[in-house]
Amino acid sequence: MHSSAREANLQALLFDHSEAREHVSELAKTYEAFLSEDVRGTRLAHMVNVTHLTQQLDFAFDETCLRDTSLPDTVLLLLAQFLNGRHRSTIYSIDGSSGISVLPRAKFLDKFSLRGVEYSTASCRTRNSHVLFRPPKLDSSESLAHAEPGQIIGIFLHSQTDSLNTQKDGGRLDHPSIYLCIQSYAPLQPELSDVDKSYRRFGFAGGFLSAQKPGPLILVDQSSIISHVAVTPLEMKGCKVLHVLPMDRVSVSRR
């Protein structure tokens, strides 16, 4: 409330005094950009129609910002593994040895909106790139206790597996899947497990700890994204760690 009152007073000051606006014009632009940021990826999200937010997977992106490029071999292999897992098969490979060769052509983008909340790559906007997600081995019916944190480092559409405005049953048009390359966080050092438990006993309100060093690169699609996370670097018992606080809701049981 105190912050909102100060914001209102500042806006009134800038509105009524043209001389003040002129002196702080550059600062005002930055301030306005900050105020216009999408904050619906926070804990407030569950206060606005929980059923709609958790069941809808609507997403949007700017098609004019797509960039044609080729996937690196490491990501291409992850995509083949992801497609095999999705279709419960072994027909996809990067060299055609199993049936279908996954081509490296892809269209990259920097950000997209999921359920009205913006997510982006680390290079585009760091604060929107830290996420909580379900690994490929989990589906939406499995416990969120197995969800993992990570940072989005790449977002792309694959020109072979999807095409824009894909025709679906009943004549309805639907967007393709967006694939996300996520740099996961490494597991916590065993000697800090007792400290981690002190955070986890408060559920999602307390968050949890991860190691600061990066873990394996993981590829998922947009349906695996759960929410943003707030990440704070810490040092405990001589170890560099990250405190990870999921930003969707206070209690996992309410999801």
Domain boundaries, given as residue ranges, for the chain: 1-36, 43-185+216-226
Contact 183, 215 (CB under 8 A): yes
111, burial (CB in 10 Å: exposed 0-12, middle 13-18, buried 19+): middle
Q: Ramachandran region of residue 116, left (φ > 0), alpha (ψ -120 to 50) or beta?
A: left
Q: Which residues pair with 243 in a beta bridge?
A: 209, 232
Q: Would you state the pLDDT for residue 64?
A: 87
Cα gap 196→129, rounded to integer Å: 23
Coil, helix or strand for 13? helix
Taking the CB of residue 201, how many other CB atoms lie within 10 A of it? 8
Helix (H, G, I), strand (E, B) or coil at 92: strand
Provide the residue type at 157 as one letter.
L
**Which pairing describes strands 100-101 and 92-93: parallel, antiparallel, or unpaired?**
parallel
**pLDDT value, residue 100:** 85
Q: What burial letters (b/e) apply to 5-34, b meaning 16+ CB within 10 Å?
A: eeeeeeeeebeeeeeeeeeeeeebeeeeee
* Tokens representing residue 187 in the block: 């597991």
Average pLDDT per block of 10 residues along the chain, 255 residues long: 62 71 71 58 43 50 89 93 86 82 91 87 92 75 68 90 48 65 92 91 85 92 90 90 82 43
Task: Give the β-pairing of 148-158 and 239-246.
Answer: unpaired
DSSP E strands, 16-66:
59-60
Cβ neighbors of 15 (< 8 A, separation 6 or more) are none
Number of H helices, E strands in the chain: 6, 16
Radius of gyration, CA atoms only, the chain: 21
Burial of 66 (0-12, 13-18, 19+ CB in 10 A): middle
